[in-house]
């Protein structure tokens, strides 16, 4: 297979990864707290082209080869990064809707004690009075799960939860310096490696009766999808062109005497 095939196909593969990220953004444009993804595409290492003419070939070279320039070996999908920029806060008036106006994450816990983090503040109450995420994981405070006797409760700006003017606990709002260490788990949930700790935010700003919208803008994502489609189409044409050149080489050049 000639080098052109490898270069063209690597471009197609990269565009497929980009389309996957854009498609996910479009699908979650209405998901509370969703953070858009971005595909990071980087080129392979460049190679130096040398002119070996009149230098004796690769052996017994009497003089230094002449440098012609560099050639790229295609592109690769290096990573899918998450854009943690805040989304728009929308007022709902619903008691169980909470939004973070500043940097930070709500902390959730599953039945096995595993921690998850999210910006999606659309919660519900379970049968035991725990404030839960749509995944069923419970919202936690500084001293464990947050439970309330009814949906008629208040959450202050600093995260203090009160029922009938009696304090039920204080939400744990976590923050991490290196957001790239957060691992996406779906359903707007994130986890952290064991060696990375989530510290408590010093001055969280919580707004009850609000939700944070997705930071993916549908119009921009659709425009990005169109760009990816055009780039993919161009890559397909390159593959077809190299296939035609290979056919000519086999049928005409190979048969010449």
**Rg of the chain (C-alpha set):** 27
pLDDT score of 167:
85
Q: At what angle do helices 3-27 and 218-248 cross, to 10 degrees?
A: 160
- DSSP one-letter code for 73: -
Question: How many residues appear in the chain?
Answer: 257
Mean pLDDT check: name the lowest of 10-19, 57-66, 146-155, 175-184: 57-66
At 254 the pLDDT is: 57
Residue 40 pLDDT level (bands cut at 50, 70, 90): confident
Q: What is the mean pLDDT of residues 115-139?
A: 91
Residue 119 clears pLDDT 70, i.e. is over it? yes
Q: What pLDDT, on the 0 to 100 scale, is given for residue 14?
A: 86
| Total Cβ atoms within 10 A of residue 250 | 10
| Cβ-Cβ contacts under 8 Å for 202 (sequence gap 6 or more) | none
Per the prediction, the chain carries an average pLDDT of 84
Q: For 13-23, what is each residue's pLDDT tens digit?
A: 888 889 999 99
Which has more pLDDT, 31 or 67?
A: 31
Query: Which residues on adjacent β-strands are paired with residue 91?
Result: 210
pLDDT for res 60: 53
187-245 pLDDT, tens digit per residue, is: 889 999 888 888 888 889 999 999 999 999 999 999 999 999 998 888 888 888 878 88
Taking Cα atoms as reference points, which of 46, 58, 12, 78 lies closest to residue 234? 12
Higher pLDDT, 89 or 251: 89
């Amino acid at each position: 297979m000639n080098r052109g095939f490898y270069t063209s196909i690597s471009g197609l593969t990269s565009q497929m990864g980009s389309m996957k990220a854009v498609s996910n953004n479009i699908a979650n444009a209405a998901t509370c707290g969703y953070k858009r993804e971005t595909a990071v595409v980087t080129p392979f290492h460049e190679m130096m082209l040398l002119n070996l003419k009149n230098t004796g070939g690769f052996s017994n070279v009497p003089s230094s080869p002449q440098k012609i320039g560099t050639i790229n070996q295609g592109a690769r999908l290096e990573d899918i990064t998450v854009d943690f920029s805040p989304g728009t806060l929308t007022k709902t008036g619903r008691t169980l809707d909470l939004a973070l106006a500043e940097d930070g994450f709500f902390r959730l816990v599953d039945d096995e004690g595993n921690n998850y983090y999210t910006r999606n503040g659309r919660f519900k109450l379970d049968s035991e009075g725990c404030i839960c995420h749509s995944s069923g994981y419970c919202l936690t405070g500084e001293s464990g799960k947050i439970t309330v006797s009814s949906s008629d409760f208040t959450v202050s700006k600093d995260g203090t939860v009160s029922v009938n003017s009696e304090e039920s606990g204080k939400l744990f709002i976590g923050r991490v310096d290196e957001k790239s260490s957060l691992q996406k788990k779906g359903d707007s949930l994130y986890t952290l490696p064991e060696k990375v700790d989530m510290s408590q935010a010093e001055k969280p700003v919580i707004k009850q009766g609000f939700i944070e919208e997705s930071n993916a803008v549908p119009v921009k994502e659709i425009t990005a999808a169109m760009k990816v489609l055009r780039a993919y189409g161009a890559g397909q044409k390159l593959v077809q062109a190299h296939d035609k050149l290979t056919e000519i080489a086999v049928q005409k050049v190979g048969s010449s005497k």
